[in-house]
């Protein structure tokens, strides 16, 4: 199974509102994911400033893509200044833009790879000028690292497996969303536990088709190959034939979950030394000079 867990964070008196942080789980059952997410929520909370708290998180079964069912779990009480947490200075302010960049290592195709993720709500006192995180991998941070790297906890990296394979498209029915491939075309690649997922590009006339879809393959092989785009809604697109299309193609979007092997912090950024690139509107603008 593939589950996405979204933690929704907020801060007391924060005019910027809340934000979310997403993690992936490969545990078999919904109940197991919820139980593991409650533990992770506490570990994340203990690494943040005392004014930051998570009132709820959402568990989504992504195996069925757009029609996936989501459940929001509440029950986290707001921390108050002076409460137990990983914050070395409980009464100091913290900000949504005070973030730590975390690196997560995983094994894919026999190679050790990594991906990065920001998470915010850190305490300003934990970060010094230049973006260094001074607490180090001890205490609350060590607990978080051990939890994310524990295979029994189920936390994973969601990584693209086959983004390049695919082929041309002959036609798309604007009413049913049935895709027909040219003679000799190859059907979308299957994904274990999920419907095949593809990205369609280059379609004119049916611009609604140019996005990522799950595919429903027929029970009996067809010649030429055809399949249906799950969730196709004829009222959301123009009823125009695909004859004007230039080079319509699809590429397989086969994602898989790879267990996290280890975790570490790379660098930090806070509201005093500049926000991380791409966060809250992108890079800070500089005044033009003559």
Same structural domain for residues 108 and 222?
Answer: no
Q: First and final CA of the chain: distance in angstroms?
A: 57
Question: Which of these ranges, 29-38, 70-79, 187-196, 201-210, has the smallest mean pLDDT?
Answer: 70-79
Give pLDDT tens digits for 206-261: 888 888 888 888 877 788 899 999 888 877 665 555 555 568 889 888 778 899 99
DSSP codes, 199-257: EEE--SS-GGGSSEEEEE--SS--SS-EEEETT--GGGS----STT-SS-EEEE-EEEE
Q: Which domain holds residue 134?
A: 3-159+257-269
What CATH number has the domain bearing residue 198? 2.40.30.180
- H or E stretch including 19? strand 19-25
Q: Does the residue 289 lie in any domain?
A: no
Q: Are 95 and 126 in contact (CB under 8 A)?
A: no
Query: Phi, psi at residue 258, to the nearest 5°?
Result: -120, 120
Instruction: Report the pLDDT value the prediction gives residue 114, as an integer from 0 to 100.
Output: 92
Q: Does the residue 99 lie in any domain?
A: yes
pLDDT at 287 over 70: no
Same structural domain for residues 173 and 113?
Answer: no
Q: Are 58 and 73 in contact (CB under 8 A)?
A: yes
Q: Does the residue 277 lie in any domain?
A: no
Same structural domain for residues 138 and 185?
Answer: no
Please list, in sequence order, all residues whose beta carbon lies within 8 angstroms of the beta carbon of residue 240, skipping any fewer than 6 positions away: 174, 205, 206
Same structural domain for residues 61 and 149?
Answer: yes
Same structural domain for residues 10 and 128?
Answer: yes
Same structural domain for residues 149 and 170?
Answer: no
Over residues 164-183, the mean pLDDT reads 88
Scanning the structure block, which residue is given the tokens 């999920």? Answer: 194
Same structural domain for residues 21 and 154?
Answer: yes
Same structural domain for residues 9 and 136?
Answer: yes
Instruction: Report the pLDDT value the prediction gives residue 255, as an integer from 0 to 100.
Output: 78
Same structural domain for residues 109 and 47?
Answer: yes
Instruction: Report the pLDDT value the prediction gives residue 66, as an integer from 0 to 100.
Output: 46
Q: What is the pTM of this model?
A: 0.67
pLDDT at 121 over 70: yes
Give me the number of domains the chain comprises: 2
| Mean pLDDT of the residues in the chain | 75
Same structural domain for residues 230 and 154?
Answer: no
Using CB atoms within 10 A of its CB, is residue 220 exposed (0-12), middle (13-18) or buried (19+)? exposed
Q: Does the residue 281 lie in any domain?
A: no
Q: Does the residue 239 lie in any domain?
A: yes
Same structural domain for residues 148 and 33?
Answer: yes
pLDDT at 145 over 80: yes
Instruction: Report the pLDDT value the prediction gives residue 73, as an integer from 0 to 100.
Output: 73
Over residues 112-117, the mean pLDDT reads 91
Structure tokens at 144: 């978080």
Same structural domain for residues 95 and 236?
Answer: no
Q: Does the residue 62 lie in any domain?
A: yes
pLDDT at 6 over 70: yes
Q: Does the residue 286 lie in any domain?
A: no
- Look at 92 and 24; give whichever has higher pLDDT: 24
Q: Does the residue 217 lie in any domain?
A: yes
Q: What percent of the chain has pLDDT over 90?
A: 20
pLDDT at 102 over 90: no
Q: Are 140 and 86 in contact (CB under 8 A)?
A: yes
Band the pLDDT of 162: cuts 50, 70, 90. low
Over residues 260-283, the mean pLDDT reads 61
């Amino acid at each position: 199974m593939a589950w996405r867990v979204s933690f929704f964070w907020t801060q007391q008196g924060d005019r910027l509102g809340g934000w979310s942080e997403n993690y992936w789980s490969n545990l078999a059952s919904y109940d197991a994911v919820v139980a593991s997410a409650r533990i992770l929520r506490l570990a994340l909370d203990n690494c943040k400033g005392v004014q930051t708290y998570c009132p709820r998180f959402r568990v989504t079964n992504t195996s069925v893509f757009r029609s996936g069912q989501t459940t929001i779990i509440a029950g986290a009480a707001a921390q108050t200044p002076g409460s137990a947490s990983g914050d070395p200075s409980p009464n100091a302010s913290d900000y949504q833009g005070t973030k730590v960049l975390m690196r997560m290592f995983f094994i894919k195709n026999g190679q050790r790879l990594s991906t990065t993720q920001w998470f915010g709500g850190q305490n300003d006192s934990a970060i010094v000028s230049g973006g260094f995180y001074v607490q180090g991998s001890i205490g609350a941070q060590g607990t978080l690292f051990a939890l994310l790297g524990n295979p029994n906890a189920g936390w994973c990296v969601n990584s693209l497996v086959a983004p390049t394979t695919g082929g041309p498209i002959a036609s798309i029915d604007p009413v049913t969303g049935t895709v027909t491939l040219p003679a000799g075309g190859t059907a979308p690649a299957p994904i274990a536990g999920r419907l095949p997922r593809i990205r369609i590009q280059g379609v004119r006339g049916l611009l609604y088709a140019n996005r990522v879809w799950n595919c429903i393959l027929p029970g009996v092989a067809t010649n030429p190959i055809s399949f249906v785009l799950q969730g196709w809604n004829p009222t959301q697109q123009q009823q125009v034939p695909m004859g004007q299309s230039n080079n319509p193609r699809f590429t397989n979007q086969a994602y898989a979950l790879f267990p996290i092997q280890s975790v570490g912090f790379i660098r930090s950024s806070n509201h005093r030394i500049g926000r991380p690139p791409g966060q809250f509107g992108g890079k800070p603008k500089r005044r033009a000079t003559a």
